[in-house]
Amino acid sequence: MTLHSSAIALEPTPHETETTQITISDALRQGAQSVIKDRRTDPQWRNIIRYGLETNDPWLPDIVRRAGAGEKIIDSVEFTLEPYANEANSNNLE
């Protein structure tokens, strides 16, 4: 068997990957901490917010708003993962 010396070994090139860095504003972090410390807040909400802070969850602003408003965690009939855009849009859905 003959070796082909004309073949050139290619250097492996690293693949570019996209990473999304989500930063939590100081105001949001303080609001989340306030909800976590409030003993009137449902313990499940406090755990969800604590986890959201640890993972830089992009849904954190909506979660903090819902917890602060005293919403139930899951309304068995009308559960949605979509955040409320604003009050005007939610009123049009009724």
Print pLDDT tens along the chain (94 aa): 566 566 676 676 666 665 555 677 889 999 999 999 999 998 999 999 999 999 989 999 999 999 989 888 765 445 556 666 555 555 555 4
What is the reported pLDDT for 76? 47
What is the reported pLDDT for 19? 54
The position carrying tokens 């939610």 is: 90
- The answer for residues whose C-beta is within 8 angstroms of residue 21's C-beta and 6 or more apart is none
Rounded Cα distance, 90 and 24, in Å: 25
What is the reported pLDDT for 28? 92
What is the reported pLDDT for 24? 77
Of 35, 58, 33, the C-alpha closest to 45 is: 35
Rounded Cα distance, 7 and 3, in Å: 9
